[in-house]
Amino acid sequence: MARSVIFIIAIFLAFCALSCIAQQQPCATYKFLNNKHFSSCSDLPVLSSSLHWNYHPLSNRVDVAFRHTGVTDRRWIAWAVNPTSGGMIGSQAIVSFQRTDGSLAVYTSPITSYGTRLEQGNLSFPVSDLSATNQNNEMIIYASLELHGNISTVNHLWQAGRVKATRSSSATLKNLHGILNTVSWGILMPIGAVIARYLKRFESADPLWFYLHVSCQMLAYILGGLSGFGTGIVLGRRSPGMEHSCHKIIGIVLFCLATTQVFGGLVRPDKDSKYRPFFNWFHFLAGLLDTYPKHI
């Protein structure tokens, strides 16, 4: 009886092993849908993955394709080389994941700690022709690496995981970011500028116009400069591989101008000071740039 049970278990395990092997096509017989061809490949021992590559010794360039099969949900995959050691620290990774709209993000990420969040960054060697595909339940990363020195072997790592479901919280934060910046830069800042431009002409409004002007600008700075800028940083960290360069640059410039205005007001020269005209011109020009329409 015991022998029969052992025999049945052995048959079951063999069937499971054969099923797993059959699910992943060997790399040597795999044909890429985009007609790419790689002279060398290796079926990696874990995570249903394989690596394909072409090595060009004269230029030290390597064209690679990292393939991960059995993708049934929103996944991220990463493949990395470590030019200096065999561990995780110092690895130079290429990451791809599926965004909420179904498109693929692909970017480079240097790994500097075990607690890495795979943030986007430049690698220690040039990388070109980055792309990724997700078809027939398999994700593939394509890239060309230009390795330094005469390298014939290299340590490499790979990993895969499920993208965390942060869509609702990110959407809420994105809406909050938009509301804060719209109220501050689009409403309060212009109102403060109008108060300073027109109410100060009336002697009866002095110094009321000044306090109203300062109150509007300070509230706008707190909402847009501090809260809006802070939520923008959080959104950027939650969205690796997604870049809104123009929006980011404009936001940084506005924040710097607003901060200069706030601290400049603390050291404002007296009306009789010879430096007061210079301050007034700087305050006017910076304020003009700060209140100019800039929604991108």
The amino acid at 67: R
Q: What was the pLDDT predicted at 159?
A: 92
**Between 248 and 144, the higher pLDDT residue:** 144
**Could you tell me how far CA 216 lies from the centroid of its own chain?**
34
Range of the domain at 47: 22-162
Confidence of residue 53 (pLDDT cuts 50, 70, 90): very high
Q: 177 lies in a domain? A: yes
Q: 15 lies in a domain? A: no
Statement to judge: residues 55 and 145 lie in one domain = yes
Q: What was the pLDDT predicted at 2?
A: 42
Q: 14 lies in a domain? A: no
Statement to judge: residues 282 and 158 lie in one domain = no
For the ranges 52-56, 118-122, 189-193, the lowest mean pLDDT is seen at: 189-193
Q: What was the pLDDT predicted at 289?
A: 61
Would the pLDDT of 1 be above 50?
no
For residues 33, 61, 53 and 76, what is the CA-based torsion angle, rounded to 10 degrees? -70
Q: 213 lies in a domain? A: yes
Statement to judge: residues 80 and 139 lie in one domain = yes
| Contact yes or no for 236/119 (Cβ under 8 A) | no
Average pLDDT, the chain: 79
Asked which of 117, 141, 162 is the last residue of a domain, the reply is 162
Statement to judge: residues 145 and 32 lie in one domain = yes
Asked which of 119, 143, 162 is the last residue of a domain, the reply is 162
Q: What was the pLDDT predicted at 119?
A: 86
**Between 261 and 213, the higher pLDDT residue:** 213
Residue found by looking up tokens 């790419």 in the block: 36
**Between 250 and 269, the higher pLDDT residue:** 250
| Contact yes or no for 48/68 (Cβ under 8 A) | yes
Would the pLDDT of 295 be above 80?
no
What's the total number of domains in the chain? Answer: 2
Q: What was the pLDDT predicted at 16?
A: 40
Q: What was the pLDDT predicted at 290?
A: 58
148 is in an annotated binding site: no
Q: 196 lies in a domain? A: yes
Q: What was the pLDDT predicted at 141?
A: 96
Asked which of 162, 194, 215 is the last residue of a domain, the reply is 162
68 is in an annotated binding site: no
Q: What was the pLDDT predicted at 87?
A: 82
Would the pLDDT of 216 be above 60?
yes
At 85, give phi and psi (nearest 5°).
-155, -175
For residue range 75-101, list pLDDT tens digits in order. 899 999 998 877 888 999 999 998 877
Confidence of residue 71 (pLDDT cuts 50, 70, 90): confident
For residue range 118-167, list pLDDT tens digits in order. 888 999 999 999 999 998 889 999 999 998 776 667 789 999 888 765 56
For residue range 220-242, list pLDDT tens digits in order. 888 877 888 888 888 777 665 55
Residue 58's CATH number: 2.60.40
- Report which of 69, 167, 218 is spatially closest to residue 210, judged by C-alpha positions: 218
Would the pLDDT of 274 be above 80?
no
pTM score > 0.75 for this model?
no
